[in-house]
Amino acid sequence: MNILIIEDEQSSADRLKRMLEDEHEIVGVCTSNAEVRTFFDRNDHAKVDLIISDIQLGDGLSFESLRTVPDAIPLIFTTAYDHYAVQAFQFNSIDYLLKPIETEELHDALAKVKPARTIEDGATTNNFSTTQAIAQILASVKSQTIHYRERFLISYRAGEYLIVPVCEVSHITIRDGVVRLCTISGKTYTLNLTLEEAESQLDPQRFMRVNRQFIVNAATVTKLSPFFLGKMRIHMAAFPNTEIIVSKDKVAAVKRWLDS
């Protein structure tokens, strides 16, 4: 199949490409809604057999640009949301992959994809349109009750555990492969989760993964300041010396989130 990847995290896009390119043709990798629109403006959409798309991009939800895809192309969504949310994406030929994506799960999802175009009486027909798929997703999401994490149980000393409510979390970060939870009181604890798992379990209205290394709590952000080449720096109340940089492509999304 000819596959278009929509993914704004370089590491995730590269992993998908490695998992697919031995058996499939990667026709493009788009990192934003703007790039998706440009891709379909410049390319023949009939050459795309499947789209594998992340949901949250730096410039908004991928639904925004996928609405404009002019033909019925099967969609597989990737998401960092927990199992309460991803239930909304299980219907018809549409599937989801929960990050981090496993090879077996990807192959199972690909096996479910039906050809988008079949010939009947000399005419091209679509078995399920992208517009219908997105409409059903949005309706399903609205009907779901999503349960987000309220606290973290932190291994502290031998046999002891601390309970840290999410309202006391300043940010969560990864450095040298170790995930750390930082509190509004300035303390730091090792967290036995991946950054992707932590992101999926936190309310996106309150927490946002602003780059590959940081998930921040909106309530603890004091200001944004300009950085080089259109980037911006996020300043945290409890960690004023921590440098958290937002890429130029993600600045608009971070501003919308903080202004909500």
CATH code of 87's domain = 3.40.50.2300
Of 143, 166, 194, the one marking the end of a domain is 143
User: Between 13 and 216, whose confidence is greater?
Assistant: 216
Quote the CA–CA distance of 71 and 78 in Å, as a whole number: 21
Query: How confident is the model over 111-135, as a mean pLDDT?
Result: 52
Q: How many domains does the chain have?
A: 2
pLDDT-based confidence at 79, cuts 50/70/90?
Answer: confident
Quote the CA–CA distance of 68 and 56 in Å, as a whole number: 17
User: What is the bridge-based pairing of β-strands 221-226 and 244-246?
Assistant: unpaired
Of 76, 110, 143, the one marking the end of a domain is 143
Does position 105 have pLDDT exceeding 80, yes or no? yes
What domain range is 193 assigned to? Answer: 151-258
What pTM was computed for the model?
0.55
Mean of the per-residue pLDDT values for the chain? 81
Q: Tell me the H-state helices in the chain.
A: 10-20, 33-42, 63-66, 83-86, 103-112, 130-143, 195-201, 248-258
